[in-house]
Copies of this chain bind each other. A is one copy, B any other.
Amino acid sequence: MEIQSKLIDRAVRELSKLPGLGRKSALRNILHLLRQEPDHTLALTEALKDLVENIQRCKTCHVFTEEEACEICRDPKRDHSIICVVEDIRDVLAIENTGQFKGVYHILGGLISPMEGIGPGQLTLASLESRINPETVKEVLLALAATAEGDTTNFYIYRKLQNLPIEVTTIARGISVGDDLEYADEITLARSILHRVAYKGS
């Protein structure tokens, strides 16, 4: 598919670098933009430019923010004695949506993955260790994906922190709410039995 306009060709090439956008859907999006007023496209380009030029990471938890410290780290009402370790900002959004966590976060920026060549050095682990002052921090909650990479990273962090006088916890693995047992995979079911909890009548 040869596009004769160099301008369109370049825009399609750049847009199709985004994950999940092939050349065909990039072209469809570019034609959509061309059908509208240029102001629509300029609003998008301004927003993206402004984003990459002004975004920074919170010095404490590494979440993206436009200030030195993020809203959660600055909030005195949050419980700064419990740090929830997550992979990226989407996990923060998911956990915040539950309304069940009142502590603070630490963004790793990835998971240890020998397959993808990601080692502990590429994650924000040194920064995590340095912010754990046992006088103020009581618990580190590992909320990572239930995958091999997540398990490896959990174990690595646990080994690093096990000698500190703090509690290291992980989120519970088990049968999803609303799921039938017969459709659950064996490993999840096995874990949910292994990590059974006392029934308190609800």
Contacts and interface: CB of A to CB of B under 8 A. Distances in A.
A196 interface: no
A11 B41 contact: no
Contacts of A43: 14
Given A1-B93, A70-B4, A93-B1, A34 B51 contact: yes
Contacts of A19: 28-29, 32
Contacts of A20: 25, 28-29
Interface string A1-41: 11111111011011101111100010111111110001011
Nearest to A38: B52
Contacts of A135: none
Interface of A: 1-8, 10-11, 13-15, 17-21, 25, 27-34, 38, 40-55, 63-66, 70-72, 88-90, 93, 96-97
10 contacts: A4-B63, A4-B65, A5-B55, A11-B50, A14-B47, A18-B32, A34-B52, A38-B53, A41-B52, A45-B48
